[in-house]
Amino acid sequence: MRKIILFSLTLLLSTLSTIAFSQQFSTIKGKVTTSDGKPASFISIGLKGYNSGNTTDDNGFYTIHRIKPGTYTIKASAVGINPAEKTVTIAAGESKIIDFTLVENNQALQEVTIAGKNNKYKISLPSASLRLNEPLLEAPQNIQIVSDQVIKDQQIISMSDGLIRNVSGAVRLEHWGDMYTNITMRGSQIQAMRNGFNVVSSYWGPLTEDMSFVDHVEFVKGPAGFMLSNGDPSGMYNVVTKKPTGFNRGEVSFTAGSYDLYRTTVDFDHKLTEDGKLLFRLNAAVQNKASFRPYEQNDRYSFAPVLSYQITNKTKLTAEYTLQNAKMTEVGSYYVFAPGGYAILPREFTMTQPGLPSTRIKDHSLFLNLQHNFSDTWKLTAQAAYFKYLQTGYSSWPSAVNANNTVIRNVGIWDAESSMKLAQLFINGQVKTGGINHRILTGFDGGKKNYMADWGQSHDLDLASSPFNLNNPDYGFPSNGYPQFDRVTPLSQRALTAGGLMDSKYLSGYLQDELGFFNNMVRLTLAGRYTYVSQSAWGGPSDKAKHFTPRAGLSISIDKNTSAYAVYDEAFIPQSGKTYDGSKVEPITGTNYEIGLKKDWFDGKWNTTLSAYKIIKRNELATYGNPNSGVSIALGEKTAQGIEFDLRGKITDGLTLIANYAYTDAKVTKVNPGAIGVVEGSVVPGFSKHVSNAWLTYTLQDGVLKGSGISAGFTYLADRATDTWSVGLQKLPNYFKLDGGLFYERSKFKITGNVFNMLDKYLFSGSYYQWLNAYYTQAEAPRNYRLSIAYKF
């Protein structure tokens, strides 16, 4: 892999050095505002008569890179406004600022912004919470963004509702209902972020986000050291929530679907003061949802108000609160166990006992964000977050699965509470020294996380003399009665007894400099992070660690629409837990190598990314035996390597496409002495070797049916790895799911209908648990439907 990287970089540098020295390019950037000084988003900016341009971001800023010296007419345009033009003469290597002020009022520009977003399957700039100060095309990293329009078109209602089909290599094999997302990518579970904060307080969390308050989701593949104090080198996803835009607008939508799905959402965006300094946005959702399995429910509501205040022209404060409330069936209701193999019972079969109380969850979060612009090139961001998670619930799991197709069903308590206090401060800036451009990122982040859970009480629903019969299930009063758990004793004491305590304290500082050579055509990233962590898990002792982690990346612009990159990153992740043999828990260490090629096609309308990687991780803990045992095993070393390809954007007028493919190969390459049940060469569980997805949308551009269209998409998983180390006798079959739908849109309303699992295939994931001598199956819904009506006001 190193030889491949060195050869590729040598070839690219040799070629591009000649190009760079022969021609010095220039840059034009600026800001587009309305007549009252508010930013104008999604305005097209281009050089008249040339195939070069860009679109303004949410704050009205734009940048056009790699322009030849000369005189140009620069044009600002969008549907519904009169174009504005300015003439500019620019010299070699020069950077000029050209601003535009549009005289139309905010109400006219509202439709422009909506029209711009409606065409956005491709996003070219990362959110500010990723801390990067550059276009995705120039970043030495594979970053894929699922836009808000994709979420609406595919009728995605939560993070665990099919969103990962839009990103190469992402799979979700272990379903915890709609409680936890748990995405696996590049051979490991990736970290969950929200607005730039790591929001994981335990192995299972966080509670999956309702899409009503989500603007878009950013997937960072591979190393993410510049965003995480201690995170997995396989990657992370960052949920970016909706913020006030400065326009007076709103939207209400109603969705009805199969299995008693009824859902209403409201998005209200408004200026509270005439000068636009105080802005407000409210997103709320109410949902009732049953299941194709009996006795199963997922009723939720969410409430997310946001206030932002422009203190001065350079300083802005944003406060955001989110409440998610869930009433749902116990964790484990998705599981069906049988001794004979996968999917041998009907798809709608359930082992859940009616009459069990619902699991109740309240998830609170509060964000404060302060941004101050020292100048056009230097900005400070300070933000803090507080999370509070409360759960009173249950989990179901069999005590025994017998060869005669009978089961002893067990219900355990799962009361949990967690809190997180998180803070960040970072500075982005640009400076030039001689002929070298510098993009500087520096800052620190810290946090304190506590999680406690009582899972130490359990109750068998069935007696050995009267077990639950899979061939002839009886859902009447269970033979051993319902559980009566102790909830009088404080949770903190119960969690201590059950070994359900986890905590983490961390503090880190980091510095990153991206050096731009040859008029920023060659960009070298050098970074380092120093991290201190103290944490414990499963009631075990606290483990402390501190380490310096380097990072190096190289990105080269072959032309204004094409770049190649390479990145090297080291992993250092302290971990805690109880090993099955009482041995000492060592931190995870490892390395990541990655190379890639990015290209924008047809003036940036669509984009492709091709990457190859190799990740080596040492001493990672994995669950040993029963997944709820709290006992771990240190593997030794595992290696994940693969190739990924992503395509997204507008192919032609009316035709948009998202397509991706990933090849993943993850294996145990070394086994620590004493590790049992794992041998060298074992497949790392929790991924599919081949993953491919596509989603195609076509919209009629004229005629009576203008605004109507059709969508279709598929997901294909081949050579699936099971989710535990017990491989079992059967392999999971290949997986193919086909979805499609129709829509009709006018300026104020949109009707969307989709059919999921159109072929009505018996789709499932599963694994074999050796300690139960049984297979489990988690079935997906048969053919089902959703219809949404949205009205803008």
Domain ranges of the chain: 2-118, 241-792
Average pLDDT over residues 333-352: 94
Whether residue 150 has pLDDT greater than 70: yes
H-helix or E-strand spanning residue 578 = strand 578-579
Measured CA to CA in angstroms, residue 214 lies from 267, 411, 461 at distances of 11, 34, 40
CATH no. for 241-792: 2.40.170.20
HEC letters along 295-308: CCCEEEEEEEEEEE
- Going by DSSP bridges, is the β-strand pair 578-579/631-634 parallel, antiparallel, or unpaired? parallel
Q: What is the pTM of this model?
A: 0.85
Q: Is 154 helix (H, G, I), strand (E, B) or coil?
A: coil
Q: What share of the chain is helix, strand, coil (3-state, %, to 5)?
A: 10, 55, 40
pLDDT score for 231: 66
Tokens (6 digits) for 634 = 């240190």
Range with top average pLDDT, 113-122, 464-473, 525-534: 464-473
Which string of DSSP letters, residue by residue, matches 297-352?
-EEEEEEEEEEEEE-SSSEEEEEEEEEEEEEEPPBTTT-EEESS-TT-S-TT---P
pLDDT score for 114: 36
Better-scored residue on pLDDT, 644 or 16: 644
Residues present in the chain in total: 793
H-helix or E-strand spanning residue 53 = strand 53-55
- Cis bond leading into 305, ω under 30°? no
Long-range contacts of 270-277 (CB under 8 A, 24+ apart): 270/244, 271/246, 271/247, 275/36, 276/36, 276/37, 276/38, 276/246, 276/310, 277/309, 277/310
Average pLDDT over residues 76-96: 76
Reported confidence tier of residue 294, pLDDT bands at 50, 70, 90: very high
Average pLDDT over residues 136-156: 93
- Going along 91-151, which residue ranges are E strands? 95-97, 100-102, 142-146
What residues contact residue 31 under an 8 Å CB cut-off, 6+ apart? 39, 56, 59, 60, 61, 62, 99, 100
pLDDT score for 675: 62
Whether residue 227 has pLDDT greater than 90: no
Better-scored residue on pLDDT, 621 or 272: 272
Question: Looking at residue 473, what DSSP letter applies?
Answer: -
Average pLDDT over residues 446-474: 95
Whether residue 446 has pLDDT greater than 90: yes
Reported confidence tier of residue 425, pLDDT bands at 50, 70, 90: very high
Whether residue 11 has pLDDT greater than 50: no
Better-scored residue on pLDDT, 607 or 9: 607
pLDDT score for 123: 85
- Which residues are registered as beta bridge partners of 310? 316
- Going along 159-234, which residue ranges are E strands? 184-185, 188-189, 191-194, 197-198, 214-221
Q: Tell me the C-alpha distance between 192 and 219, whole Å.
A: 10
Reported confidence tier of residue 460, pLDDT bands at 50, 70, 90: very high
- pLDDT averaged over every residue in the chain: 86
pLDDT score for 72: 87
- Which residues are registered as beta bridge partners of 449? 420, 504
User: What pLDDT digit, counting tens, does each position of 617-628 carry?
Assistant: 887 776 665 555
Which residue has tokens 């392999």? Answer: 731
Whether residue 701 has pLDDT greater than 80: yes
Average pLDDT over residues 689-694: 96
Least confident of 264-273, 449-458, 587-596: 587-596
- Going along 602-733, which residue ranges are E strands? 606-618, 621-623, 631-634, 636-652, 655-671, 688-699, 708-720
Least confident of 477-491, 497-511, 664-678: 664-678
Range with top average pLDDT, 68-82, 227-241, 524-538: 524-538
pLDDT score for 4: 43
pLDDT score for 576: 66
Reported confidence tier of residue 9, pLDDT bands at 50, 70, 90: very low
CB 242 within 8 A of CB 777: no
pLDDT score for 8: 46
Least confident of 75-79, 112-116, 391-395: 112-116
Average pLDDT over residues 107-136: 65
Of 366, 427, 394, the C-alpha closest to 199 is 366
Measured CA to CA in angstroms, residue 552 lies from 16, 149, 563 at distances of 20, 34, 17
Q: Tell me the C-alpha distance between 295 and 426, whole Å.
A: 49
pLDDT score for 57: 74
CB 599 within 8 A of CB 558: no
pLDDT score for 624: 62
pLDDT score for 630: 60
Average pLDDT over residues 495-502: 92
Cα–chain-centroid distance for residue 471? 40
pLDDT score for 288: 97
Q: Tell me the C-alpha distance between 280 and 305, whole Å.
A: 7
Burial-class residue 586 by CB neighbours within 10 Å (0-12, 13-18, 19+).
middle
Tell me which fold the domain 2-118 belongs to.
Answer: Immunoglobulin-like (2.60.40)
Per DSSP, the chain holds a count of helices (H) and strands (E) of 4, 47
Say what percent of the chain tops pLDDT 90: 57
